Amino acid sequence: MSVNLAHSETISSLKVARRPWPVIVGEAAKTAPSGDDFAALETVGARMTFGRNETIFSEGDCAKYCYRLVSGSVRLCKLLADGRRQISDFFLPGDFFGYADFDTYALSAEAVTGVVVTRYARNQVEAVSESDSRFRRRLGQLLHERFNAAQLHLVMLGRYTVKERISSFLIQMAERLDPGAGSADEIELPMSRLDIADYLGLTIETVCRAISDLKRADVIAVPSIHRIVLRKPSVLRDLVEGGEHLLA
């Protein structure tokens, strides 16, 4: 099983990233969408920065804070004693995370790229939630969304083939990364192949091979390593749905 070497600099937390990576600042430092349900928290948030592969919080830590991602991207994962890793979710700018836990975090959150977050004390979030029913509903809705996403993830890990997993992942990322309407046809994947593998329950080699297959079939193009062009999104969709053959 793949050895995990992601934790070279897991200690300090306010350190600036050595090399901020695609912190897409100019173009896409997406601020909160206009009708922002988090306005109530605006005043109590603290802005923070994490470097690539830095840990934002660890499984078992006292869950004092929750976070809103401003820029970059974050993985939520669980590490087994022998190095096996499962990523349960990726977060993108605008996502709110770290609130779906009890006293301690159930999983670790790590910066996939250089990251900027706003950090909120949980007791303050809870106070606002207690008094503001609109905010509370919004928070509940977010939790439900994460829950439903986890259910789909479950089906994928339990029953999808490799091709279905990769296709489903690409479509899903295209939808999430596209701010506006239907999924964009070109996406910038912030995470490494190993991250993708650990999200899909595969090995990095299998992920590479599946991507190469799609490239060979001209369903996607890969101009640079973190950039993917969906040339035939419909084929990707078919690969996921029929749950069947379509790719040579």
Partner DNA sequence: CGGCTTTTTGAGACGCGTCAATGACCGTGG
Partner DNA sequence: CCACGGTCATTGACGCGTCTCAAAAAGCCG
Name the binder of 204 from its own copies, DNA, none, CB < 5-8 A by kind: DNA
CB 101 within 8 A of CB 108: no
CA pseudo-torsion sign 178, 183, 184, 186:
positive
Paired strand residues for 85: 79
Decide if residue 130 touches its own copies (CB under 8 A): yes
Cβ-based neighbours of 162, under 8 Å, separated by 6 or more = 202, 206, 210
Tokens of 228: 């993917």
Q: How far is the CB of 160 from its own copies (least distance, A)?
A: 9
**Displacement of CA 133 from its chain's centroid (Å):** 28
Q: Which of residues 201-230 bind DNA (CB under 7 A)?
A: 201-209, 211-212, 222, 224-225
Paired strand residues for 78: 86
Nearer to its own copies, 25 or 150 (CB): 150
Nearer to DNA, 94 or 201 (CB): 201
Paired strand residues for 69: 117
Q: How many residues line the site for its own copies (CB under 8 A)?
A: 38
Instruction: Single out the residue of 85, 119, 163, 193 in contact with its own copies (rule: CB under 8 A).
Output: 85
Instruction: Single out the residue of 101, 188, 213, 238 in contact with its own copies (rule: CB under 8 A).
Output: 101
Name the binder of 101 from DNA, its own copies, none, CB < 5-8 A by kind: its own copies
Q: Residues 154, 159, 162, 166: what is their CA dihedral angle, to the nearest 10 degrees?
A: -40
Give the number of C-alpha atoms closer than 13 A to the C-alpha of residue 8, restricted to the C-beta side.
7
Q: Which amino acid, 237?
A: R
Name the binder of 4 from DNA, its own copies, none, CB < 5-8 A by kind: none
CB 93 within 8 A of CB 30: yes
CB 234 within 8 A of CB 171: no
Q: How far is the CB of 118 from its own copies (least distance, A)?
A: 22
Name the binder of 110 from its own copies, DNA, none, CB < 5-8 A by kind: none
**Which residues form the interface with its own copies (CB under 8 A)?**
78-82, 84-86, 88, 100-102, 106-107, 130, 133, 140, 143-144, 146-148, 150-151, 153-155, 157-159, 198, 200-201, 241-244, 246
Return residues touching DNA (CB under 7 A): 1-2, 5, 18-19, 161-162, 192-194, 201-209, 211-212, 222, 224-225
